[in-house]
Structure 1
Amino acid sequence: MITPIYAAILALFYVWLSMRVIQMRQKARVSLGEGNSKQLLRRLRIHGNFAEYVPFALLLILLVELSEMPDWNVHALGGLLIVSRTLHFIGLSREKDVNAFRVLGMVGTFTVLLLGALACLVPDFF
């Protein structure tokens, strides 16, 4: 199976994002919420956005794989998801809230979701 490879890589990424939030909570001395810390809010949203999109994208990738689509389709979706989430992280980590990295990260994430959905709805899509 291919999807577990991408799930594992993304799980490690998620743990790292979680640790960054914990570290910033300690630094800002905030145990709940963002405590008016822009840095903590930024890290919380990076972490939260990841948690909102990645599980559903992985589910669709798994369904594509279980549909016995060619392996390259699964690798393309998984690779695009990793690149997209990395770009999104870079983009949201910058001072300028709207930038090319963030936009490309979300466009890539939405592309994975849309292609995964289409592959599930239209068996001969790929």
Structure 2
Amino acid sequence: MPSIYSTVNLILTPASLIWSPIFAGYYLYLGASVSVLRAKTKYLVGTGPDAVKGTHKADDQVASPTDVQALQVAARAHANFSEQVPISLIMTILAEINGAPTYLVHALYAAFFSLRVAHNELGMKLNNTLGMGRPVGTVGTWFLLASTGVYNVGLGWDSFKSFAGY
């Protein structure tokens, strides 16, 4: 029996399909890092002095300052990824659906992913959270997001002009 994909091509965003598990995998890695450190510090909610501690095992043990700092960094890295990636993916998917060349979409995804990994691995985790990857990842992500927005305006400009009566 032939596959439906052999007769009808239903894949609208091939580059997005390839990159989505890569982004999801790194997101899961960041989340797992937070979970491991939560178990180690027994901080169930929060990361600082007001954190809610669990009631299991030896609660009289005090989490080491190094582990608490590692939890704070891991939680912030996970949150940063969660804040920046969805809008980046949405903007890139919109470009792909509306006719951006596949090579450009792959380049955008590669750049977005590299910048987010650099932000964490070469920024948040290095030099007391002040590694060069942090500003490079942040500014680079903002630049790519703005560039993708401008590119998307170009893709939709004729449609907008038609709608506006020009």
TM-score by length of 1: 0.91
- Does residue 67 of structure 2 align to residue 34 of structure 1? no
3-state SS, counterpart of residue 129 of structure 2: coil
The number of aligned residues is: 125
Partner of 2:115 in structure 1? 84
3-state SS, counterpart of residue 31 of structure 1: strand
Deviation for aligned residue 1:124:
8.5
Partner of 1:69 in structure 2? 100
8 Å Cα contact 2:73-2:129 kept in structure 1 = no
Partner of 2:132 in structure 1? 100
3-state SS, counterpart of residue 14 of structure 1: helix
The CA distance in 2 between the partners of 1:121 and 1:103, in whole Å, is 27
- Does residue 26 of structure 2 align to residue 13 of structure 1? yes
Deviation for aligned residue 1:25:
0.3
3-state SS, counterpart of residue 99 of structure 1: coil
Deviation for aligned residue 1:120:
1.2
Residue deviations 1:17-58 (CA, integer Å, cap 9, x gap) = 000000000001100000342211111000000000101100
Residue deviations 1:68-120 (CA, integer Å, cap 9, x gap) = 11111101100001110110111101133323111111122112211211111
TM-score by length of 2: 0.71
Structure having the higher Rg: 2
3-state SS, counterpart of residue 146 of structure 2: helix
The CA distance in 2 between the partners of 1:47 and 1:22, in whole Å, is 11
